[in-house]
Amino acid sequence: MSTPIALAFLAASVLFIIGIKLLSSPKSARAGNLVAAVGMLIALVATLPLMHVSAVNATLIVVGVLVGLIVGAVGAYRVKMTAMPQMVALFNGAGGGAAALVAAIEFAGHPGSTFFVSAMIFASVIGAVSFSGSIIAFAKLEGHLEKPLTYPGQQFANGGLVLAVVVLGVLLTSTLHSIPLFVVFIVLALLFGGLMVLPIGGADMPVVISLLNSFTGLAVAADGFAISNLALIVAGTIVGSSGTLLTLAMCKAMNRPVTNVLFGAFGQASTGAGGETASGGTVKPIQADEAALLLGLGQHIVIVPGYGLAVAQAQHQARQLADELAQRGVEVSFAIHPVAGRMPGHMNVLLAEANVPYEQLIEMEQINPQMPRVDVCLVIGANDVVNPAAHEDKSSPIYGMPIIEAEKARMVIVLKRSMGKGFAGIENRLFVRDNCRMLFGDARASLQELVTLVKAG
Amino acid sequence: MSVEVLTFFVFILAIFLGFELIFKVPSMLHTPLMSGTNAIHGIILVGGMLALAGADGTLERVLGFVAVVLGAANVFGGFMVTDRMLQMFRKKKR
């Protein structure tokens, strides 16, 4: 690699680092993404002179990049904001698949010394796991396979699979340069990626995607070793290590160790425990007109949005209701749980889409001390993040998770489609509290009705 | 110091850099950050392009082509979807 090209890759790496740094603050985040994109453009242009390419391969590269560009752009711009996590999972899976394929081609064509082969083996196995794991995570978030899949001896089956992959990997690195064996190796890795994610409940998919994101980073870094490209090493490694930290931060927001998320089979624990409506109370329905009256009379109203709001595409109606109430002198704030929606920060994105002012979004830690002074807490399509079982029921799978303490408000109104369970699949004892009323129906329709009634009243 | 050791050197430093970079990020930015770093590992497209450039034989070409398509989808889609998310963050400051 000539010096100018090497320096171009260095510039790209520096821009990635600056980009990530800027991404960590709300004000500069968008600029950060653009800075990283410029870095990527530099890296891609610097690659061109490195390629000694035949006409056939050149055509294939151009066509391939264009196809990827179109698929990526259509995916990125057509996806609904609610389906964002799935999209990230798919893009991540694509990266993992590419990393595995690059390693496979290098392994077949230019194996080199043990050092290079071990990098290829590592990149292909991690890339393959990330690929199949991301596909399963995507399917789960799309609503297929949402139930955790568990069977007796599962841990042993997965453990055996890991062992087989490791043994094959060591064999391929040290003694055997066999393509058929490599194919078996990849198939086992793909199988493991899928089986690793299958027993994990849909609610934990963000953590899984974040983890697989860092996996892909590491696979890319290993590819960097295999083809001696420092930009791949730096970019991949930084994504790998920052992704690991991000995964741990997400687990911390749910107050669960990462091992519990990955191997605890969330759903398994919840089937028996915490399944009863412990207090044995009944839910008290409320009609929209009465709810509108209560809202209009309040001084301080807190709205707790959950994934149900996103599914119903009701973020605009929620904002309208907040505006309407604010005009009447009611203080309105949105309480955002760190894991509301399907990903940390997902709810902020959705409400931002509906033009909810930044100042109205209050984080969980700030809103909880104010809760006893709140007149009405309006819970829209949220469930697990307001479930008091997290504080009270040691047998509950969400025990210990920090929640928004909606039950401490003077009155709680829950907008809910039906009495179904939350994403974690457990009962919510908030709904049977004395100060809780249920407004059943589609969140969007209910909110529209409330807006009209508040306006009229 | 051999090239292998030198690259390993860079690798270890990059691990620490990654940890430092996102220490204490507000949870509202976790999703965009995940999405943004997701786009950055799309640099595997560089590896895909190099692999396809040197490919001979149908199988290598097919694998290389798929790698380039996947890598390009990762990198372009990744940056675009992140920008779309962050665009909304900017809107609300008005």
- If you ran DSSP here, which 8-state letter would residue B74 be given? I
* Helix A29-47, helix B78-91: angle, nearest 10: 160
- Tell me if A128 is assigned to some domain: yes
Q: Same domain, yes or no, for A15 and A111? A: no
Among residues A12, A47, A78, which one ends one of the domains? A78
List, in sequence order, every residue forming a beta bridge with A436; answer none if it has no partner.
A412
Kindly indicate the confidence band of residue A273, based on its pLDDT and cuts at 50, 70 and 90.
very low
- Tell me if A283 is assigned to some domain: no
- Residue A256 token pair: 């669960």
Q: What is the per-residue pLDDT across B21-38, written as a single tens digit (0 to 9) for each?
A: 887 777 778 888 899 999
Give me the CATH number covering residue A370. Answer: 3.40.50.1220
Domain that holds residue A69: 1-78
Mean pLDDT to the nearest integer, A51-76? 93
Q: Same domain, yes or no, for A253 and A402? A: no
Q: Same domain, yes or no, for A263 and A405? A: no
Q: What is the per-residue pLDDT across A65-106, written as a single tens digit (0 to 9) for each?
A: 999 999 999 999 998 877 888 899 999 999 999 999 999 999
Q: Same domain, yes or no, for A298 and A207? A: no
Q: Same domain, yes or no, for A293 and A211? A: no
Lowest mean pLDDT among A108-117, A274-283, A315-324: A274-283
Q: Which of A223, A384, A393, A442 is catalytic?
A: A384
The CA radius of gyration of chain B, in Å to the nearest whole number, is: 18
- Tell me if A282 is assigned to some domain: no
Q: Same domain, yes or no, for A58 and A180? A: no
Q: Same domain, yes or no, for A106 and A164? A: yes
Q: Which of A17, A77, A244 sits opposite B17 (nearest CB)?
A: A17
Mean pLDDT to the nearest integer, A276-296? 76
Q: Which of A60, A352, A363 sits opposite B52 (nearest CB)?
A: A60
Phi and psi at residue B2, to the nearest 5°? -75, 165
Q: How many CB atoms lie within 10 A of CB A406?
A: 28
- Tell me if A281 is assigned to some domain: no
Q: Which of A47, A64, A95 sits opposite B50 (nearest CB)?
A: A47
Distance CA(A451)–CA(A446), nearest Å, equals 9
Task: Check A353 against B88: CB less than 8 A apart.
Answer: yes
- Tell me if A274 is assigned to some domain: no
- Tell me if A406 is assigned to some domain: yes
Smallest CA–CA distance, residue A200 to chain B, in Å, is 20
- If you ran DSSP here, which 8-state letter would residue A419 be given? S
Query: How many CB pairs lie under 8 A apart between chains A and B?
Result: 373
Alpha carbon A407 to its chain centroid, in Å, reads: 27
Query: Which of A395 and A223 is assigned the larger pLDDT?
Result: A223
Query: Which of B17 and A1 is assigned the larger pLDDT?
Result: B17
Mean pLDDT to the nearest integer, A42-50? 94
Among residues A78, A98, A121, which one ends one of the domains? A78
Task: Check B14 against A221: CB less than 8 A apart.
Answer: yes
Catalytic status, residue A384: yes
Task: Check B7 against A230: CB less than 8 A apart.
Answer: yes
Among residues A11, A46, A78, which one ends one of the domains? A78
A343 SS3 class: coil
- Tell me if A275 is assigned to some domain: no
pLDDT at A277 over 50: no
Smallest CA–CA distance, residue A309 to chain B, in Å, is 17
Picking from A168, A46, A183, the residue whose alpha carbon sits closest to that of residue A107 is: A183
Q: What is the per-residue pLDDT across A247-272, written as a single tens digit (0 to 9) for each?
A: 988 887 777 778 877 776 544 443 33
Task: Check A102 against B82: CB less than 8 A apart.
Answer: no
Percent of chain A with pLDDT over 90: 45
- Asked whether the beta carbons of A47 and A230 are under 8 A apart, the reply is no
Please tell me the total count of domains within chain A. 3
Q: Same domain, yes or no, for A264 and A296? A: no
Q: Same domain, yes or no, for A115 and A209? A: yes
Mean pLDDT of chain A: 86
Chain A residues in contact with B28 (beta carbon < 8 A): 26, 336, 344-345, 348, 361, 363
Kindly indicate the confidence band of residue A36, based on its pLDDT and cuts at 50, 70 and 90.
very high
Distance CA(B15)–CA(A411), nearest Å, equals 49
Mean pLDDT of chain B: 88
Q: Same domain, yes or no, for A86 and A216? A: yes
Q: Same domain, yes or no, for A246 and A328? A: no
- Tell me if A448 is assigned to some domain: yes
* Helix A29-47, helix A3-23: angle, nearest 10: 160
Smallest CA–CA distance, residue A77 to chain B, in Å, is 7
Q: Same domain, yes or no, for A116 and A155? A: yes
